[in-house]
Amino acid sequence: MTAARKLLIAFDQSAYSAGTTHADALRDTLQLAQHCERIGYHRFWVSEHHSNPAIVGSAPEVLLGALTALTSRIRIGAAGVLLPFYAPFKVAEQFNVLEALAPGRIDLGLGRSPGGDGNAFRALNPGGDGDRLKFEQKIRELCTWLSKQTPGDDDKLAGLKTLPHNPGVAQAWLLVTSIDGARSAGQLGLPMCFNYSAEQSVGISEAAFDAYRAAFRPGALCEAPYTAMMAWALAADTHEAARRLFASRGLWRTRLDDGVREPLESVDTALAYPYTAQQRERIELQLERNFVGTADEVMGKLHRLANNAGADEIGITAWTYALEDRLRSFELLARAHHHSVHGDQESAL
């Protein structure tokens, strides 16, 4: 599959920078979405995390409500709703409302991870768990509600409807980081987004895509296999400038390894931090696993990654201390992608 056939997804986690406010982080997400619509991204997704001082996007359905009014063309969605915490009936209602407000533009990514620490999990879902089989049962129930049907044979549910009804439905996706998760997506008959940014997923992406396609069974919400590859990618005008901007993320990750959960620090603060030799090695490893450099360098790597796996779309997420650097990165990557597409078209003539 060539670059010409791939669409771009922008994914934002509402990263919170020291010296700003949580409200600033959420408003930055809204501004980034509008920017990505202007520069040609196909989708804009927001995340769900809990009790993480660096990520304040805890309610994607609320952010998406705002985005239905602030955008007009780009598809918008959650990446994702952490379904183990919620009743499928309620999630179906929420996304029916979003579909009514932005017809044909709503994506419903579903995730199984806790989205925070164990305490957050217990607070959100006392007595619950993230068992894969129970998760899959919830997905099947949710998809049934989205299809305007009643799940199971419970007489108490007879006649129950998820409102509002719309001509179309939100498109459900399964977000995965493992081969087992990819296989589940195929068996459930849903599009799959594989998160290469998750450390446990590095090195297994091609096997996960193969497992997904082998297991795929057509469903009411997806007739044929369809996939996206999500990766952490940061571009700047020069390779050195991109590495410099990555310093904020590098310091955050180093602190997280030590059990310290803090917001993003400025680039200058991160560069001045007294790292140990082991911590510097850890940051270099992060630079290898993420994609940092000029737009041509980064997009070239992303295209190779997606082509090798056979992904239909490329998803991009990035953290920067300053919003303007994030806006610039997404714009540079969109330009590089469009240039690659144009090159593919020219070579075919």
Dihedral pair phi/psi, residue 235, rounded to 5°: -120, 150
The predicted model gives 325-341 an average pLDDT of: 94
Q: What pLDDT, in 10s, does the model give residues 126-159?
A: 766 667 788 999 999 999 999 999 887 777 777 8
Position 236: which residue type? A
pLDDT of 155: 72
Return the minimum-mean-pLDDT range out of 116-120, 263-267, 317-321. Answer: 116-120
Q: Give the burial string for 252-262 (b: 16+ CB within 10 Å, else e).
A: bbbbeeeeeee
Query: Do 158 and 150 form a contact (C-beta atoms < 8 A)?
Result: yes
Does residue 57 sit in helix, strand or coil?
coil
Render pLDDT for 27-37 as a digit per residue (tens, 0 to 9).
999 999 999 99
Assign 2 a pLDDT band (cuts: 50, 70, 90). Answer: very low
pLDDT tens digit sequence for 269-293: 999 999 999 999 999 999 988 999 9
- Band of the pLDDT at 349, cuts 50, 70, 90? very low
Cβ proximity of 227 and 212 under 8 Å: yes
Per-residue pLDDT tens for 189-236?
Answer: 999 999 998 766 778 999 999 999 999 999 989 999 999 999 999 999
pLDDT of residue 128: 63
Least confident range from 5-9, 57-61, 156-160, 184-188: namely 156-160
The rounded distance, in Å, linking the Cα atoms of 294 and 285 is 19
The Cα-based distances of 142 to 81, 183, 264, 315 in angstroms read 12, 19, 36, 24
Q: Which of 136-145, 157-166, 310-319 has the lowest mean pLDDT?
A: 157-166
Considering the chain, what is the average pLDDT of its residues?
91
